[in-house]
Amino acid sequence: MKKNLLLYLSTGILLIFSLAVFFFTKEFYELIETTSIWVREWFGRFYLWLGLFCVLFIIVIALSPLGKRRLGNTKDRPEHSIWAWVAMLYSAGMGAGILLRAVQEPVYMQQNPPLQTRISPDIMALEYTFYQWGFTAWAFYGLFAMIIGYYLFVKQKKVLVSSAIEDTFSFKPVLWIIDILAILTTVFGLIGAVGLGTTQINGGLNHLLEGDFGINTTIFLTLLISLMAFISVWKGVNKGIKVISKLNINITILLLIYIFIQSDILTIFSSFFTALYHYILDFIPMSLAIGNYNPGEPFLTDWTYYYWAFWLAWAPFTGIFIARISKGRTLRELLLGVMIIPSLGTFFWFSVFGESAFQLIDSWGNYNNEFGDVFSSIFIFFENYPLQGFINGITIFLLISFLVTSVDSAVFVLSMFTDNGKKIPSKKHRLIWSVFIAVFAVAIVILGSAKPEINVLTALQKLLIITSLPFSLFMVIMTGIFLKDFFKKAL
């Protein structure tokens, strides 16, 4: 019992929570909605300051002599190639989101400019999209990865979030609460992502095939993704997670090139570099939403605060997974690699799809919100290109595959948590969490269908905003303890 106390406690709490959601769905939804708005209103500005701090802190550590410190022994070398490493961290950290938002978000920002500046709406749209998907999001992940990686490979601690503070706070109940909260947040986010993702894929199939695929199709997709993720995580990091992640990135790049070569290449390059220049130039005032760079509280609450809370909530799981695959890398390689490489890739992705969508709108002469629906915008976009059926099929495949890599990496992290913090968790724990996620995801889909007046999936996503609050405060404490330990060891 003692060995698996974390497993029993976390699964027990999840079962009790699930029963409460089932029997008090309406009350659950209203409580989540009210509390998530409260968190954003009262702590939104704190999130902005924290995000800026994380970016600047990572840059300082990476460029200082401390950046030469290696995760592991001085003779250790990276376990994974740079390409495989980037593929895995990107699949775990962003995944299907870049597909679903590729057109919808840049076009929304173009049609509803968040800031009134001298630059064109097109550049402003790309700049703000860069901002919400760029350095800050990956800085949250990178900070967690650095600190957990340090305690994991340098101080030989267990793979647990509480490992970062256990030498300072030795009170067991506090450590259990932190680890259980990390597990609950990972499970909530994962179930919400699978439920919402399969619903979106189902919506895409309905749009493409002009059919009416109902809940049975969504359940089938959920079980298919869960099964594929289980097979992947059963095989482990090298034979499962890494293989699928590399496949995802390769196909995504081919899709990017396909759109890129059929668009105005010079305009895309110009927009990319111009938006990147303004993003870097305006980064600090945008990060603090001050002066002319304040889009207003309604916009911040609906967009930036929401994104920051979401990235923060995912930081423990994603950060630990990144730390787990980063043994042998220096802090400089880890921090700059995590923050810059995927950010630049994301920026170019949005530049290609966003600028191409802008050109389509210009050619139409008027815009009737064709790209307004996040479920169908990417498919409507592809209707304007050759081989649309084939490309749409590839997109559906990628949406499924990216969900698989999100699930398998999360199941691997959950298994490490509950298997006494082992770096290579037992297959029994991988099976337990794979089944658990599949059953709960199907249950949430069924519950959402049974009570269509209540958006259960959206409520689960907003639940992450609430759980992001304790993690944001924990991040401050964790960073302070890390600096104290790091400099103490250095001296």
What is the model's pLDDT at position 352? 97
The mean of the pLDDT values for the chain is: 87
- Flag whether pLDDT at 238 surpasses 70: yes
**DSSP class of 160:** S
What confidence tens digit (pLDDT) does each residue in 386-438 have?
988 889 889 988 988 888 888 888 899 899 989 988 888 999 999 999 998 88
Domain annotation for the chain: domains and CATH numbers: 51-158+194-449 (1.20.1740)
What is the model's pLDDT at position 1? 40
Q: How far apart are CA 406 and CA 194, in angstroms?
A: 9
- Flag whether pLDDT at 52 surpasses 60: yes
HEC assignment per residue over 350-370: HHHHHHHHHHHHHHHCCCCCC
The dihedral sign for the CA sequence 266, 267, 272, 273 = positive
Among residues of the chain, what percentage have pLDDT more than 70? Answer: 97
- Flag whether pLDDT at 270 surpasses 60: yes
pTM summary value = 0.92
Q: Which two tokens stand for residue 117?
A: 């500046």
Helix residue ranges, H only, 64-134: 82-93, 97-100, 104-111, 121-133
Among candidates 197, 192, 221, 217, which has minimal Cα distance to 206?
A: 217
What is the model's pLDDT at position 6? 87
What confidence tens digit (pLDDT) does each residue in 307-329 have?
998 888 888 888 888 988 888 89
Which 3 state secondary structure label does DSSP give 330? Answer: strand
Q: Which of 103-112, 201-210, 467-476 has the highest mean pLDDT?
A: 103-112
In sequence order, what are the residues at sequence separation of 6 or more whose Cβ sits closer than 8 angstroms to the Cβ of residue 250? none
What confidence tens digit (pLDDT) does each residue in 90-147 have?
877 777 788 889 999 999 999 999 988 888 999 999 999 999 999 999 999 999 999 9
Among residues of the chain, what percentage have pLDDT more than 90? Answer: 36
What is the model's pLDDT at position 453? 65
Label residue 456 by pLDDT band (50, 70, 90).
low
Contact 274, 367 (CB under 8 A): no
